[in-house]
Chain A
């Protein structure tokens, strides 16, 4: 069974919520990213969103833009990311979702990437600038290798679009909690709870919420009604501040633990 699907099933059986940290692969180095993923696994992460650095990340705020720039300074590519996942698999079974822009995927080749992702031990993929309408072959290719294709739903999505998004998604549906790019915010936009409920009318898949969740209080609030909580920029910002300091894994792990506990109502 696909590790993402399995993890959500286990969590559901325990009536527990998923915590999903995002980090940019190769920021500051791939060796440190590998250590961080292993640390996040121990700290209670249920799925790791592994950001593939891209030169033109138009859906990202400044924190993740800068992380991608740091990773691209040493030319981190999808091939390197897959090699790193393979190494992680020698030590951990934590579910891993690639989070990419579409052009690096196209350059790699959609079918080749699906095959190599499976070989490396990746469990699914989300392309932030690939709407389901353009994804027919992509969905087929990843499905063939039992990999999840996660699509985004947004505050602007109509019922008609939510239906398409739900149908094309596997693993879970990712709800973007605000109209905007990735980044931290002081408080959650209103209406998130209602939209999560609306998405659930269209699908039995778990619904995870991300974009703008930065603090344990917010994670706890979202964990109350969503099946999963995604935090990106707050973690990436800390990694950016710590860089290659010997404390990076430990301190980022502590942040992930506090957010994971809060998401699961143990905060």
Chain B
């Protein structure tokens, strides 16, 4: 515990700078009404990072409520099947609520409580961040409302009910593409209106500064644990880390602790959808360009006029038109490479890992697994790979059943 408490403090890192910039990316692009709230949040977060009581409380809940540390699991049959490097899974799917999202949600709701806020709002895509925020709000006794696109509500019915069960109001968003991006717009509109008493728990390393920083710091525990665990199990650092990238919080959480280890290769895997053509994917680095969406300069899927394009992915959690600014920066400096996996490849990996390891991965995590399926066979058996199993697939079984066995009746 004490080791965690000390190492959890914000280590001085060159990025973001004082303006929330990661090289050319990041920043704080919001209507004036929100600027003071973001400045207040930035100060409160800095204070909390240095506050031993806050840190001790967070560690306490992480250990006794979230179930941390999550295991680092050697996927022996998956490794054998691929016939290359040894593959480990970082089991964020075993964290309470079934995904890494709880790390950030719990941290932010604790912070909101410390700031004296009475009400929590959040956006959700797949529903995992919504469930995590609803859970943290329930744990800490704060009122919570979650915005969710109606298209996402349709494909994630189970999570909608889970949030309601947790005492959260789920507000349907039917504007625009009816997915994550539109839920964020609506959450920001709510925050602009109720900014005094409300904290907006943004669910990923995107949005205006300080959100990408706050979320990264609360997710860093993934990599901190994984680093210690791989040293214990293998006695050395991994060769390659693989994680899926929607907004990019589970990936930055795993990667950040290894950034200075120049021999550790890192691969972020975006959603290739059905084709790398407009409106058929969510691979921002493959099909996007620099732009500003929802508070941060980053890579954006947009047309020539700067209008944001619709996206598609089988995985609701990766179905977003932009990506965290720190990812754009780490790609620009060549530290992390970004690939994509198609819907079909993710569904194949989803089934493969379920069969071989008895672990049903989230469709998001299945994108990272799909990339492992591509590269691991040509790696040397002496090499070690860690894939972030960012979430469990229980929420996806209904959708997967319809896609994989369309001839059967799943009504």
Residues of A within 8 A of B (CB): 54-59, 61-62, 65, 72, 75, 77-79, 102-108, 128-131, 133-134, 151-158, 161, 165, 176, 179-181
Closest to B185 in A: A58
A127 to chain B, nearest CB (A): 9
For A155, list chain B residues within 8 Å (CB).
33
Contacts of A61 in B (CB 8 A): 189
**B291 at the A/B interface (Cβ < 8 Å)?**
yes
CA distance A4 to B273 in the complex (A): 48
A181 touches B192 (CB 8 A): yes
Is B354 an interface position by the 8 A CB rule?
no
A77 CA / B189 CA spacing, docked (Å): 24
CA distance A72 to B304 in the complex (A): 13
Q: Which of A57, A108, A134 contacts B29 (CB 8 A)?
A: A134
Question: B188 near A: Cβ within 8 Å?
Answer: yes
Chain B, range 187-213, C-beta contacts under 8 Å to A: 188-189, 192-196
A54's nearest neighbour on chain B, judged by CB, is B307
Chain A residues positioned under 8 Å from B34 (CB to CB): 156
Q: A56-B185, A59-B192, A129-B30 are in contact. List 11 more A-B contacts (CB 8 A).
A: A56-B293, A58-B31, A72-B307, A107-B291, A134-B27, A152-B33, A154-B33, A156-B195, A179-B193, A179-B194, A180-B193
Please tell me which one of the listed residues B37, B185, B291 contacts residue A106 in the complex, with CB atoms under 8 A apart: B291
Residue pair B304, A55 in contact (C-beta under 8 Å): no
Pair B31/A107 contact, Cβ less than 8 Å: no
Asked whether A56 and B36 contact (CB < 8 A) given A103-B292, A179-B193, the answer is no
Please give the distance in Å from B34's CB to the nearest CB on chain A.
Answer: 8
Q: A154 contacts which chain B residues (CB < 8 A)?
A: 31-33, 35
A132 to chain B, nearest CB (A): 9
B42 to chain A, nearest CB (A): 13
CB neighbours of A158 from chain B (8 A): 36
A130 to chain B minimum Cβ distance, whole angstroms, is 6
CB closest residue in chain B, given A102: B292
**CB neighbours of A165 from chain B (8 A):** 32
Most buried by A among B35, B295, B300: B35
- The smallest C-beta distance from A43 to any residue of chain B, in angstroms, reads 29
Residues of A within 8 A of B192 (CB): 58-59, 179-181
Complex Cα gap A181–B30 (Å): 12
Pairs of residues from A and B, 3 with the lowest C-beta to C-beta distance, nearest first: A107-B306, A104-B306, A77-B305
B294 is an interface residue with CB less than 8 A from chain A: yes
A55 x B32 contact (CB < 8 A)? no
A37 CB to closest chain B CB (Å) equals: 21
Indicate if the CB atoms of A56 and B308 lie closer than 8 Å. Answer: yes
User: Which A residues are CB-close (under 8 A) to B33?
Assistant: 152, 154-156, 176, 179-180
Q: Is B306 touching A56 in the complex (CB atoms < 8 A)? A: no
Q: Are B188 and A104 in contact (CB under 8 A)?
A: no
Chain B interface extent, by class: 35 or more
Could you pull out 23 A-B pairs where Cβ atoms are within 8 angstroms? A54-B306, A55-B176, A56-B182, A58-B185, A59-B192, A61-B189, A62-B175, A72-B307, A103-B293, A103-B306, A106-B290, A108-B306, A129-B31, A129-B292, A131-B28, A134-B29, A152-B32, A152-B33, A154-B32, A156-B33, A156-B34, A156-B195, A179-B194
B184 contacts across to A, CB distance below 8 A: 58
Residues from chain B with a CB closer than 8 A to the CB of A108 are: 305-306
A56, A62, A131 pick with most chain B CB within 10 angstroms = A56
How far apart sit A30 and B177, CA to CA, in the bound complex (Å)? 25
Most A C-beta atoms less than 10 A away, residue of B27, B30, B306:
B306
Cβ-defined contact, A181 with B189, below 8 A: yes
Asked if residues B294 and A56 are in contact (CB atoms below 8 Å), the reply is yes
What separation, in Å, do the CA atoms of A43 and B188 have in the docked complex?
36
User: Is B251 an interface residue when CB atoms closer than 8 A count as contact?
Assistant: no
Task: Provide the bound-state CA to CA distance between A64 and B300, in Å.
Answer: 23
A198 CB to closest chain B CB (Å) equals 14
Closest Cβ of chain A to B105, distance in Å, is 22
- Chain B residues in 8 Å Cβ range of A180: 33, 192-193
Q: Are A181 and B193 CB-contacts (below 8 A) given A54-B307, A104-B305?
A: yes
Q: Does B43 contact A (CB under 8 A)?
A: no
Complex CA–CA separation, A158 to B43 (angstroms): 15
Contact with A along B286-299 (1 / 0, CB 8 A): 00001111110000
Cα distance A77–B294 when bound, in Å? 20
Tell whether A102 pairs with B32 under 8 Å between CB atoms, given A72-B307, A107-B302, A181-B193: no
A157 to B32, Cβ gap below 8 A? yes
B114 lies within 8 A of chain A by Cβ: no
Chain A residues with CB below 8 A from B188, complex form: 58
Nearest-neighbour CB distance to chain B for A76, whole angstroms, equals 9
> Does B216 interact with chain A (Cβ within 8 Å)?
no
Q: Residues of A contacting B35 with CB < 8 Å?
A: 131, 133, 154, 156-157, 161
Question: B36: which A residues are within 8 A, CB to CB?
Answer: 156-158, 161
Q: When chains A and B are docked, how far (Å) is the Cα of A134 from the Cα of B29?
A: 7
| A156: nearest chain-B partner, CB-CB | B36
- B60 is an interface residue with CB less than 8 A from chain A: no
Q: Once the chains bind, are B30 and A131 in contact (CB under 8 Å)?
A: yes
Q: Please report which residues of chain B, range 383-403, place their CB below 8 angstroms from some CB of chain A when the two chains form the complex.
A: none
Residues of B within 8 A of A78 (CB): 305
Q: Min CB distance, A53 to chain B, in Å?
A: 8
Task: Report the nearest B residue to A80, measured CB to CB.
Answer: B305
**Complex: how many Å from CA A130 to CA B208?**
11
B224 within 8 A of A: no
Q: Mark B85-128, 1 if CB is under 8 A from A, else 0.
A: 00000000000000000000000000000000000000000000
